[in-house]
Amino acid sequence: MRKAFDGLSGIISSVLGRDPLDGSVYIFINKRRNRMKCLVWDGDGFWLFYKRLEKGTFQIPLRADDQHALAVSYEQWMLILEGIDLDSVRRRPRYRHPHTLLE
């Protein structure tokens, strides 16, 4: 968790193969899962958000061992930040346009 703007944007482009200037929020969580950094480009500069939990851990959604990244919706991100167990949440049916589906 020592990297700042340039280091994190380098990881986004080199490891993930993504453009850090695309407006997405890129979330980084440490191994102990008690610290989170979020990097986002807002059009004329980067925002870097950092949260350290005093107690507890962030729940990370399951992913394959060889998978470096996964996409989460805004709602899932907010649940992770609030400490809500993602496995116990039931989503009620809603219309989702196929082009905006991130999950």
End-to-end CA distance of the chain: 26
Distance CA 80, CA 76 (A): 6
Q: What is the pLDDT along the chain (103 residues), one digit of tens a residue?
A: 899 999 999 999 999 999 999 999 999 999 999 999 999 999 999 999 999 999 999 998 877 677 778 888 898 999 999 999 888 888 888 887 877 655 4
CA angle 82, 83, 86 (to 5 degrees): 110
